Amino acid sequence: MGDRRIVVSYLKPGLTVEAASSICIERCGAQCCQGPLILCLSAEEKRTFKRKADHMGMPVNMTSFGESWLLKFQDHKDACCPMLDSETKKCLIYEDRPQQCQSFPVGPIEGCEISSD
């Protein structure tokens, strides 16, 4: 795979997709997975998310919003995404994470290594 660059207004200039993914996997402090954030899921993503959460014995609260589903981090333990490992700060479903998570950063996040300030 070549040196792909993506145009995302909040990604640090010149950062490749591969480099950003590596930073997220290896050194992320999980700022994008905590606080007063809302994750918007498609119906298919909701089914996958719920199935994985049920398999892990995690309670998940979601609200229907038209054809989408909203997951408010503040409704869950420690105001975090329920799929965030509280000790390692890594995503428990990284390979199957929702599109919104794959598209990060969608806004500037203070302290995030891949987000422009």
| pLDDT higher at 102 or 105 | 102
Residues contacting 45, CB < 8 A, separation 6+:
69, 98, 99
Question: Given pLDDT bands bounded at 50, 70 and 90, which one contains residue 4?
Answer: very low
Q: Is residue 69 part of a domain?
A: yes
Q: How many helices (H) and strands (E) does the chain have?
A: 3, 3
Is residue 79 within 8 Å of residue 73, measured between CB atoms?
yes
107 inside domain: no
Mean pLDDT value across residues 86-106 = 83
Q: How many domains does the chain contain in total?
A: 1
Owning domain of residue 52? 33-102
Domain assignment of residue 74, yes or no: yes
The model's pLDDT over 40-79, given as tens digits with 9 standing for 90+, comes to 999 999 999 999 999 999 888 899 999 999 988 888 888 8
Q: What's this model's pTM, rounded to 2 decimal places?
A: 0.70
**Residue 21, in any domain of the structure:** no
Query: Closest Cα to residue 84, out of 49, 115, 51?
Result: 49
